[in-house]
Structure 1
């Protein structure tokens, strides 16, 4: 954090002054550091060490795993945490533990009794795999721990979708890449250990036990006293390397005439001839790319040639349960050399033959058709209020979709600002690849929303877009909703409409309000939230042809003005405290930027001469007149606008540039304000962007405080998503302003 642009390395010093060229470089840098991340299927087994909330700690309760353990008993947990790049992190733990990261002991935490306060440890994760091992001792009141890995600014929020992303995965070779902590134990204490005092607990943590003595081999069985211990989870009881689908074991509640499906794929084989080996109990129907190639109402065995394959092909099996308790099938695809070819291309796994097929069911006769559309972006209904998803054939493991990374396909509001900038810049430059990046990012979230809801119901925390499932405040509603509408306007993607309706319902009926209808949070009101609401509201009004949403946006602007605008200054305070009925009177730069940005968005989407337009115009002029009066000599604006001692801040400078340029172009502002936009733009190139397109000096996400010094001390971060997209928008709007003033 707090990276500094090196002297001589600015974009301006590299000779770049044109907004279009700066935009190209910044966007290219954003895409290089935030590449597309495809959704991948991975096996998943419900585990005892898991998150209870989407961004909370992973919690281990070894007392539930191994009941009746004595004080001093030891259990281990281990995981591989992948990282796309090196990153400083804060690891927060509770419990009586010793923690190793990449072979180094980084924390010993002795906490006898019930207190168990969180302890923060600063660490650096390396690019690639990071091995975490936790040794936990029963301290008399607790046998368990919690662990959280976070970006330093947000030490209690698991790093998942913003700035950095990681997740714990099993360390056993067979389970590599699958989410979870492996665990091993229990290791009982020596006879006579009955106390949980500090010295005895420290001795248990410091005394190496067999897993430590043998070098942390997670695939070995360990002898301890009279038992053999292995890292859990182990191999499922019914997993088999041969390709038999034991549907009776998978679907114990299935009735006669119910059916289930299995799916696999055949990759291209050139001229190599293929055949199916088929054996089944119960009626069977096989389709290759949707065309029926085998049907039998009776149990049997058969060999079927299917020729060669020049492209990927889908093999779908439907099996119907008969009256017999035996219900199974075996289907193998083999080539001329006898090698098996079935595969699930999107399933990342080390399970080998045990993961060549996925299964789903059971479907009652009235729910089943002649075939099944195979999809991995939604659950399947199997009856009233019952849905299922694909699983492996062991009865314990489900396929689960994941998206790695921290920008593409993520819901967080700052990311949506970045996507807005990328979209506007792409269309200005006619860059179709960049444009499709944004539209695909939004579209894929809409397609998987229904699955994400189901996933949360099954596992407690969804593997995808968890912020989209908690729409009880404006941050997860406004900007994702705005960008979904922008995507729909360009793609007409059907899945977007019902999701936008969910968001609209949440905003209109689920957000706390003052008596006059103005939005607020639980105990505060933030300037940010005018931007987190009104750009969505005016787009909803356009999309649905409903003026309620336009009127709501105007009402919000009036309510924010009443409570947050500082008398005699024209600037806005960042926070209003409803209980005390007072502002904090800190004109935070980006908070004022959000207000200005929101007002220009309202004006962009209001019909001509719409009631309330004059109020919005007047408010925009009041605010930006006050803003230009605090622009400093370099052309920048400060983190606290009326405090020259606070640092020059990039995101607010970029927002004021885009708002001024947009306002001048549309005639909302006086033409002479164009010069302030130009000065701000030059300052951004001179002081905030390097020749590679990296953006410096962006304030990280803010909390709230009555103390001005709090805002002085918020760190900045290079290429933070609160700023990169806004700089792109500033470039686009400045270029449009200049073209408009030149009569182009």
Structure 2
């Protein structure tokens, strides 16, 4: 028997059989540890280093420094802030001689093969320390190339955000790179203080962040957008009006063309002609948003605006915090003058605008820009980050789209409904909307910068892990809010899943993953990554094809993965070897039975696949119940009593058994009543502590043909996201079962 917590530290010791209390404990701990922290908005210079479609930073200095001569040196540097120790695998492709220094030490030096082989890629395992980490590159130009590509492997999952070094660029995102130089100025890694002053570094660094004297002589819209007579731009700021109550204020300044001003969402001034203006208005004290629409004139474009309370100038400040930028105004344009929109909709950092100019390579949309050379506002996901071992720091997970958090959001929704806790439902919807509200922007961000800074997995949808689980939670939340964005995104997920996902000839989903360790495999996990979404999509849209697909996949996966002698599932079928691995991983089996219960819940009695799926459900339950431990838990490898006992699979078996009894799916329900209640009791005694922490959940899995990998390498992680939501779901279903039994049901 595996021991994770002492008896006195268990939730059962404190709450006994008060299941509502334990569910409250789980939900409140999660929300408390994961506050609703938004994306971070930073200044980014589009003239700087972009990313490839795979997420590597493209430091091709032959393009960035076209005047550099063969033999010259140049350097690049970046900062990484890490909330905790974090292990990442970096990929490096050399375009010429390269030395990579990590936290002051030489971590990699290129060899001749790396430098001249076009497709060579080095993988480097690095340990980021808590706090600041320093990345520095020394590069030398040869006739073959100059620079490198560097970044995180699996970048859409294991995100690597970099910040600009030097005090003058504090808070800005992205790498900096130096001008070329004949001498190795920073020989042997003697780089300047990357947290110090750029002016003391001895070199000029790019991208540039300051306007030239000539550009400073222009009005802001001119230097940001160029001249586009008749087109419009929006400028957004905030004013702080002193005092209390209403204040008589004066708007004064100059405009190069027609000007419209809103303050606090109310229209306060329209200037039809260019020239000076002055207007007296009554404004409430406090901070108010200011929106200006400026029309480009024949020879100039822009405005100057001062707001006075009496004779004192009111402070203009950023409308939303943009790190690495000190000016008060954000700008969006050029837009069409006919694109009239509600000011409250314009003043949003999730809003894109129609590009009124366009041209080759343009994306058709524009977003907020800065009064700085090639300066852009860009949102970044900077909350909890995954490492190579799937562990996360103690930072909030809020706003991340990934599959374990899809289960968590589903758990919060169901717990909120059962306990009549609207705050849990609102929190779950807020997390989901943090992703969906930025969906259109994140697609644009990828087109504009090469790789998205938010919603990485949703935008770069290539496998079921990227979309199915969180998409299912999104559709579950749709019943609470009917957000039309949810259905629009679900349509794209369904199109990918039904029409574009790789399949075997018989129609079975599988993982093509060319060049990856998992190439040409089928995973039991993917039943969860697909079928719950398909059944919810069918329910909302009426798509019979989606429901039929969900039913079909269970029958196809059974053909490859079912182990009939024990009535359990192999984790993976490897088509490279034309055989299943034969290892019944606990959570892989949990995903299977959990998802089958999701589909059976909505599959009509007359559906042709229902009898076969009900029989499959009974077979699996019969196999699982025989392998339950005396303390209620199941083993990490189900048929290996030497493997540790694992909490997430236990929760999924409890969930499915409770549903099977309550919905009448089990031919002999009595053993499963006892097994479900015993499993939940085992979890409250052995896995859920008195603070609501969840123990005994194994981290995200790869696969193996041997059980040793699952037993010895795939170890448990405290509060792993793979287990928190399913604990809540197990608790809700067992509590429903107990209430159902208490009503005198058989």
Cα distance in 1 for partners of 2:79, 2:242 equals 35
Conserved in 1, the CA contact under 8 Å of 2:255 and 2:275? yes
Cα pair distance change 1:34/1:97, threshold 3 Å: farther
Quote the offset at 1:601 in angstroms.
Answer: 0.2
Match of 2:618 among 617, 621, 644: 621
Conserved in 2, the CA contact under 8 Å of 1:77 and 1:184? yes
Corresponding position: 1:88 with 2:109: no
Quote the offset at 1:721 in angstroms.
Answer: 0.9
Corresponding position: 1:329 with 2:331: no
Root mean square deviation, CA, Å: 3.1
Cα distance in 1 for partners of 2:207, 2:309 equals 34
For the residue of structure 1 that corresponds to 2:464, the secondary structure is coil
Quote the offset at 1:17 in angstroms.
Answer: 4.2
Cα pair distance change 1:308/1:727, threshold 3 Å: same
Corresponding position: 1:482 with 2:482: no
Aligned equivalent of 2:740: 740
Quote the offset at 1:3 in angstroms.
Answer: 12
Corresponding position: 1:358 with 2:330: yes
Task: After superposition, give the CA deviation of every residue in 1:73-92 in whole Å (9 maximum; x if it has no partner).
Answer: 55443333233x42332363
Task: After superposition, give the CA deviation of every residue in 1:179-212 in whole Å (9 maximum; x if it has no partner).
Answer: 112333545337xxxxxxxxxxxx975363xx44
Cα distance in 1 for partners of 2:3, 2:451 equals 34
Query: Could you tell which deviates more after superposition, 364-373 or 36-45?
Result: 364-373
Conserved in 1, the CA contact under 8 Å of 2:561 and 2:569? yes
Corresponding position: 1:387 with 2:360: no
Aligned equivalent of 1:292: 267
Aligned equivalent of 1:270: 243
Aligned equivalent of 1:696: 695
| Structure 2 gaps, min length 5 | 115-119, 385-396, 513-519
Corresponding position: 1:550 with 2:547: yes
Aligned equivalent of 2:147: 144
Conserved in 2, the CA contact under 8 Å of 1:81 and 1:169? yes
Aligned equivalent of 1:434: 424
Conserved in 1, the CA contact under 8 Å of 2:412 and 2:424? yes
The number of aligned residues is 703
Cα distance in 1 for partners of 2:576, 2:504 equals 11
For the residue of structure 2 that corresponds to 1:274, the secondary structure is strand
Cα pair distance change 1:267/1:16, threshold 3 Å: farther
Aligned equivalent of 1:152: none
Conserved in 1, the CA contact under 8 Å of 2:166 and 2:196? yes
Cα pair distance change 1:657/1:393, threshold 3 Å: same
Cα pair distance change 1:267/1:715, threshold 3 Å: farther
Cα pair distance change 1:100/1:381, threshold 3 Å: same
For the residue of structure 1 that corresponds to 2:284, the secondary structure is coil
Matches within 5 A, 1:248-267: 248-252=222-226, 254=228, 256-267=229-240
Quote the offset at 1:741 in angstroms.
Answer: 1.0
Cα distance in 2 for partners of 1:516, 1:121 equals 40
Query: Could you tell which deviates more after superposition, 235-244 or 180-189?
Result: 235-244
Quote the offset at 1:620 in angstroms.
Answer: 0.8
Conserved in 2, the CA contact under 8 Å of 1:43 and 1:347? no
Conserved in 2, the CA contact under 8 Å of 1:701 and 1:722? yes
Aligned equivalent of 2:197: 219
Quote the offset at 1:435 in angstroms.
Answer: 1.5
Quote the offset at 1:565 in angstroms.
Answer: 0.6
Matches within 5 A, 1:90-169: 90=88, 92=90, 94=92, 96-101=98-103, 105-115=104-114, 118=122, 120-126=124-130, 129-138=131-140, 143-145=146-148, 147-148=150-151, 156-158=153-155, 167-169=161-163
| Structure 1 gaps, min length 5 | 150-155, 191-202
For the residue of structure 2 that corresponds to 1:409, the secondary structure is coil
Task: After superposition, give the CA deviation of every residue in 1:306-359 in whole Å (9 maximum; x if it has no partner).
Answer: 33423543322222223x32222111224456444222332323432xx21122
Cα distance in 2 for partners of 1:363, 1:11 equals 58
Aligned equivalent of 2:515: none
Cα distance in 2 for partners of 1:652, 1:109 equals 41
Quote the offset at 1:7 in angstroms.
Answer: 7.2
Conserved in 2, the CA contact under 8 Å of 1:3 and 1:696? no
Match of 1:237 among 187, 205, 211: 211
Cα distance in 2 for partners of 1:49, 1:241 equals 23
For the residue of structure 2 that corresponds to 1:250, the secondary structure is helix
Cα distance in 2 for partners of 1:628, 1:3 equals 21
Cα pair distance change 1:392/1:498, threshold 3 Å: same
For the residue of structure 2 that corresponds to 1:168, the secondary structure is coil
Conserved in 1, the CA contact under 8 Å of 2:139 and 2:146? yes
Cα pair distance change 1:489/1:15, threshold 3 Å: closer
Matches within 5 A, 1:574-585: 574-585=571-582
Task: After superposition, give the CA deviation of every residue in 1:159-187 in whole Å (9 maximum; x if it has no partner).
Answer: x767xx66211233343222112333545
Conserved in 1, the CA contact under 8 Å of 2:7 and 2:13? no
Matches within 5 A, 1:651-666: 651-666=648-663
For the residue of structure 2 that corresponds to 1:114, the secondary structure is helix
Task: After superposition, give the CA deviation of every residue in 1:563-619 in whole Å (9 maximum; x if it has no partner).
Answer: 211132211111123354321111111111111001100111223443322222111
Cα distance in 2 for partners of 1:181, 1:484 equals 35
Quote the offset at 1:362 in angstroms.
Answer: 1.9
Aligned equivalent of 1:673: 672
Match of 1:567 among 564, 567, 570: 564
Cα distance in 2 for partners of 1:441, 1:183 equals 36
Corresponding position: 1:727 with 2:727: yes
Aligned equivalent of 1:61: 60
Aligned equivalent of 2:295: 320
Cα distance in 1 for partners of 2:575, 2:123 equals 33
Conserved in 1, the CA contact under 8 Å of 2:334 and 2:355? yes
Task: After superposition, give the CA deviation of every residue in 1:262-296 in whole Å (9 maximum; x if it has no partner).
Answer: 22222453336533222011222223344433223
Matches within 5 A, 1:622-661: 622-661=619-658
Conserved in 2, the CA contact under 8 Å of 1:266 and 1:341? yes
Quote the offset at 1:139 in angstroms.
Answer: 8.6
Cα distance in 2 for partners of 1:634, 1:205 equals 63
TM-score by length of 1: 0.87
